[in-house]
């Protein structure tokens, strides 16, 4: 099929059903959706498809198989490894319009989301219901749940809350063959065989597309406090971590050296009249912990 025939077929697929999807072919859209934050490889997709339902994704995958059309999944495009780049005439499958929160269970403390739900959207929904979704990133305002799971993103609170896969109660996926699988049925206890959730989590779309995910929520931590400690030697960083872990449950643990601080300060806007004196300290630890 030539590009014009592919686009025409895609439009027919997305127009079917009660909730039609979209097909974009404008140059600006191809540029925007065809790359991630790497910005190294020039994007060159044939078209951008924005489905609205799992069934549309299924129809798209089956069409791609029948006509030898390559597909590239696209979430918030905040990755830095070129995993969402379409540089060789592929069709980009963007989940921006599959952004609905479908169900909430207060008793199970789970929420069912479409793949295009933004991380911050899920965090806010959990907070509005008196709960907490702890997986967090600097890109929380734009990264999407499907992309988070496809890359098994960890984020800044991984030391306490683990990776994205640790918060998945169930998945709905469209396989590379075009089958729809409902994995784990949102069960907390399930020993009935292979747990295929964890094959799709971290697979970056190579086995199929995640279209829905049921995510676990937890209680919100109380009275988080941020501590900044100065160290004279970077090798002491792990000793400090171990000392804190013996006493409290850390939420996050990060460090930065004097050099990037010196690079950051001229760019920062601050009401202070002078730069803080950090000359006697070579590295700094930043940690978040609950106060008691």
Domain range list for the chain: 3-94, 101-216, 224-290
CATH number, domain 3-94:
3.30.43.10
Q: What is the mean pLDDT of residues 44-71?
A: 97
Q: What are the tokens at 273? A: 């009249």
* CATH topology assigned to domain 101-216: 3.30.465
Above 80 in pLDDT, residue 260?
A: no
Q: What pLDDT was estimated at residue 263?
A: 54
Q: What are the tokens at 163? A: 């990776």
CA-CA distance, 68 to 182, in Å (whole number)? 26
Higher pLDDT, 51 or 82: 51
User: DSSP letters along 26-84, please?
Assistant: -HHHHHHHT--TT--SPP--SEEEE-SSHHHHHHHHHHHHHHT--EEEESS---SSSTT
CA-CA distance, 161 to 34, in Å (whole number)? 32
Q: What pLDDT was estimated at residue 40?
A: 84
Q: How far is CA 146 from CA 91, 115, 239, 258, 265, in A?
A: 18, 4, 37, 37, 36
CA-CA distance, 136 to 117, in Å (whole number)? 14
Whether 3-94 and 101-216 share one fold: the answer is: no
Q: What is the mean pLDDT of residues 198-217?
A: 96
- pLDDT digits 0-9 by tens, 245-254: 898 888 888 8
């Amino acid at each position: 099929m030539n590009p014009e025939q592919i686009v025409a077929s895609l439009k027919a697929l997305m127009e079917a059903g009660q909730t039609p999807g979209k097909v974009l072919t404008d140059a600006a859209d191809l540029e925007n959706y065809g790359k991630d934050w790497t910005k190294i490889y020039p994007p060159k997709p044939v078209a951008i498809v924005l489905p609205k339902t799992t069934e549309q994704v299924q129809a798209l995958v089956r069409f791609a198989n029948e006509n030898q059309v390559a597909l590239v999944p696209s979430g918030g495009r905040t990755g830095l490894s070129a995993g969402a780049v379409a540089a060789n005439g592929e069709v980009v499958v963007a989940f921006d319009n599959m952004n609905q929160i479908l169900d909430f269970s207060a008793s199970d403390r789970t929420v069912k989301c479409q793949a295009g739900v933004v991380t911050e959207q899920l965090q806010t929904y959990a907070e509005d219901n008196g709960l907490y979704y702890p997986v967090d990133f600097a890109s929380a305002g734009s990264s999407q749940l499907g992309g988070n799971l496809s890359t098994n993103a960890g984020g800044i609170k991984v030391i306490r809350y683990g990776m994205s896969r640790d918060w998945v109660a169930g998945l709905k996926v469209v396989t590379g063959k075009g089958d729809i699988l409902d994995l784990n049925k949102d069960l907390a206890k399930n020993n009935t065989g292979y747990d295929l959730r964890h094959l799709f989590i971290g697979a970056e779309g190579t086995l199929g597309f995640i279209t829905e995910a049921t995510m676990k929520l937890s209680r919100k931590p109380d009275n988080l406090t941020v501590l900044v400690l100065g160290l004279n030697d970077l090798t002491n960083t792990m000793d400090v971590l171990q000392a804190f872990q013996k006493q409290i449950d850390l939420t996050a643990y990060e460090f930065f050296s004097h050099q990037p601080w010196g690079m950051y300060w001229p760019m920062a806007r601050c009401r202070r009249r002078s730069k803080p004196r950090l000359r006697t300290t070579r590295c700094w630890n930043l940690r978040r912990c609950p106060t008691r």
